[in-house]
């Protein structure tokens, strides 16, 4: 039968084996947990880094949008912006020429109105284009420049007439059509609003051009009518001469008649005298 001392040694050995087994189990389980913990931390950091990168990207996009004043307009809207700029530039350029070369004061006043109004319209258009990231032209297109060159070679009444016909009526008709298209078809709301606002200004220019052209024609016809009246006056002054000539002919006719009558009377007297002589002889 085992002694108490031996039993205590067996119990100690069993406890030692249990402790060793528990330690081995702990070492085999907890390192995995410790390995998983950094993985979770890395995942969290990775997620945080991704969020931060996304925020930075969004901030950069917002900054770029702020620099350009918003999203760019479509190609169609950009083309309309540039065409409107060329139209305004043409009216300003040729209007300045007309202020110097026009003969009629009314045409000069019209030209000044065109320069003032189209300068304001161009300034508003520049602000709109800058907000949309569009670079506008700085001079008229080739067609308008050719028209300007032709006008430069004219002077006096010819210049006034051609300026009112080309820049006053024809060019404004084209501008009005372009503004109507922009106000109805433009995709950008700001461009639509600009076109609608400017339409009324261009329509007032069209009416002013018609009135000025009509007044120029009336003035030209008045000058022409004055010359015709003078010629008519000369014709009337000749009538009395004709009358005098007629009187002369009448007077001449009367004298001739009187002479004839006198001659007839004389002949009759002679015949009577001859008859008396014959009677005396007979006696």
pTM: 0.57
Domains and CATH numbers, the chain: 71-136+149-223 (1.20.1260.10)
Question: Measured between alpha carbons, how far is 164 from 133 in angstroms, rounded to an integer?
Answer: 35
Taking only the tens place, the pLDDT of each residue in 201-222 is 999 999 999 999 999 998 888 7
Q: Which residues of 224-242 are buried (b: 16+ CB within 10 A; e: fewer)?
A: eeeeeeeeeeeeeeeeeee
pLDDT at residue 165 greater than cutoff 60: yes
Q: Strand runs (DSSP E) across 19-91, as ranges?
A: none
Helices (H), 69-131: 75-101, 105-131
- Model confidence at 9, pLDDT cuts 50, 70, 90, reads confident
pLDDT at residue 10 greater than cutoff 80: no
Taking only the tens place, the pLDDT of each residue in 31-70 is 444 444 445 445 445 455 544 444 444 444 444 444 444 5
Q: Which of 132, 8, 147 is nearest to 80 (CA)?
A: 132
pLDDT over 90 percentage in the chain: 50
Question: Measured between alpha carbons, how far is 283 from 268 in angstroms, rounded to an integer?
Answer: 23
């Amino acid at each position: 039968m085992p002694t108490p001392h031996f039993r205590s040694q067996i119990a100690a050995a069993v406890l030692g084996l249990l402790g060793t087994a528990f330690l081995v189990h702990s070492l085999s389980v907890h390192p995995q947990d410790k390995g998983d913990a950094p993985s979770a931390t890395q995942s969290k950091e990775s997620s945080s880094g991704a969020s931060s990168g996304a925020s930075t990207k969004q901030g950069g996009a917002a900054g770029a949008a702020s620099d350009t004043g918003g999203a760019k307009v479509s190609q169609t809207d950009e083309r309309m912006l540039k065409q409107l700029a060329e139209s305004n530039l043409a009216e300003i350029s040729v209007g300045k020429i007309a202020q110097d070369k026009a003969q009629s004061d009314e045409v000069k006043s019209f030209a000044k109105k065109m320069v003032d109004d189209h300068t304001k319209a161009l300034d508003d258009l520049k602000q709109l284009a800058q907000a949309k990231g569009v670079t506008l032209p700085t001079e008229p297109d080739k067609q308008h420049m050719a028209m300007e060159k032709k006008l430069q070679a004219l002077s006096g009444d010819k210049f006034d007439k051609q300026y009112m016909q080309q820049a006053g009526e024809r060019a404004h008709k084209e501008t009005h059509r372009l503004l109507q298209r922009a106000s109805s078809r433009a995709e950008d709301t700001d461009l639509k609003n600009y076109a609608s606002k400017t339409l009324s200004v261009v329509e007032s220019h069209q009416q002013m051009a018609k009135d000025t052209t009509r007044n120029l024609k009336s003035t030209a016809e008045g000058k022409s009518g004055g010359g015709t009246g003078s010629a008519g006056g000369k014709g009337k002054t000749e009538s009395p001469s004709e009358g005098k000539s007629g009187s002369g002919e009448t007077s001449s006719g009367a004298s001739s008649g009187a002479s004839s009558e006198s001659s007839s009377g004389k002949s009759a007297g002679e015949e009577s005298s001859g008859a008396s002589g014959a009677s005396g002889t007979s006696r």
